[in-house]
Amino acid sequence: MFFVVGVLAYVVSPWVLPVRILEGPLLQQTTADAVSIVWYTSRPAECAITLTTDEGERTTPVANDGRRCRVRLTDLEPGRAYPYRISRGSRTLAEATLHAARQPGYSFSFIVFGDSGTGGRAQYLLANQMVLAAPDFLLHTGDLIYSRGERFHFDDRFFAPYRELLKQVCFWPCLGNHDIAEPDLGAPYLEVFELPENGPTGLTPERSYWFDYAAARIAVIDSNLDQPQLCDAVAPWLTEVMSEPGPRWKFVSLHHPPYTGGAYKPNERVQNALVPVFEAVGVDIVFAAHDHMYQRTAPIRGGEVVEPGAGVVYIVSGAGGALLYEALPPDQRPDYVIALNNEIHSFTRVTINGDTLALQQIALGGEIIDTWELQEQPPAEDAP
């Protein structure tokens, strides 16, 4: 009897209690003059969002598709902070402050991490450190939701751990192998996130995409694709995206590392299909995960270690919350592995200041377990 009463109370409570936000707010697709915000309410409801500007408050009605609410705020000023409030009638449902993206010429920082979505203690502790690191955006390297990318786990394994971050800074996700597990094949990922539809021709939109932030261009790639798809669709697209004149720094985020000294072998699909493109277009860093640990390689070109600035550096940032993996013993690791830590959960913080990139790997208690700096070389001037 008590069980039946409990079930009935659970079923009817969203319809008799005041509307509240269950998941979100989640900032998406932040640019220098616009941002999208997504959230899920306890039942379908009309909401509004109010932005505080120099001219006063600006209220915008919100579109909703059932419980999912979405709004695109425009006419922002680059780098400006905007307090905002989500409301239903006179009730405030959520409030925070967002920032429009910075323009080229301004310093900025971002956080990279992956293999996070367990809902465990390490994930929450790392999230606390991420708040303290005050990034301009978050870049994920895949495996957002263990163990099969289930929609019902997005609350406890994504929205809840990163609640304070998601309502303040933009989150850019990447598909890992666990995020596309049967039977949904990544459908929950595509439902939750609002991503650019600028990916490779002929492939499902939003699974691969690119964006600019200040002086950086970042391509996010679904590395679950088979080698023919990577070769025939992704490689030409990536070549075009990264060859266009634009930001001076070039980054790629994907899940499967083409170079690693961890539990997995280097991913041959990515090596064969995409590494030649990374090298040809001058990608500075490729961020990956899959191996549950942190790794940093020397610059690599043609499979060989080269001088700084002459090759691509590969970062495995896969210590975001899941069980850490064993690594190859030091004497068995490839010579390109410069730094490796599989003893503590951590995330990667990247700071760009003009021609200088500074990287820190930050652990649970705020300890810095690796640092590295890259000085971008200015393009050579043509001889007279």
* Structure confidence by residue, pLDDT tens digits, 165-213: 999 999 999 999 999 987 889 999 999 999 999 999 999 999 999 999 9
If asked whether residues 166 and 292 sit together in one domain, one would say yes
Q: Cis check for the bond before 13: say yes or no (omega within 30 of 0).
A: no
Q: Is residue 163 part of a domain?
A: yes
If asked whether residues 139 and 34 sit together in one domain, one would say no
Q: Look up the domain containing 92 and give its range.
A: 17-99
Among 69, 99, 129, the domain-final residue is 99
pLDDT in the model for residue 21: 98
If asked whether residues 56 and 157 sit together in one domain, one would say no
pLDDT in the model for residue 15: 54
How many domains is the chain built from?
2
Among 99, 134, 167, the domain-final residue is 99
* Structure confidence by residue, pLDDT tens digits, 355-371: 999 999 999 999 999 99
Q: Is residue 247 part of a domain?
A: yes
pLDDT in the model for residue 384: 41
Q: Is residue 2 part of a domain?
A: no
Task: Report the predicted TM-score, pTM, of the whole model to 2 decimal places.
Answer: 0.94
Q: Measure Cα distances from 8 to 20, 43, 44, 55, 201 in Å.
A: 19, 16, 19, 48, 48
Q: Is residue 383 part of a domain?
A: no
* Structure confidence by residue, pLDDT tens digits, 206-220: 999 999 999 999 999
If asked whether residues 263 and 301 sit together in one domain, one would say yes
179 phi and psi, to 5 degrees?
-75, -15
- What is the CATH number for 344? 3.60.21.10
Q: Is residue 1 part of a domain?
A: no
d(CA 111, CA 335): 27
Among 29, 64, 99, the domain-final residue is 99
pLDDT in the model for residue 4: 43
d(CA 119, CA 204): 28
If asked whether residues 69 and 119 sit together in one domain, one would say no
pLDDT in the model for residue 378: 61
Place 383 in a pLDDT band, splitting at 50, 70 and 90: very low
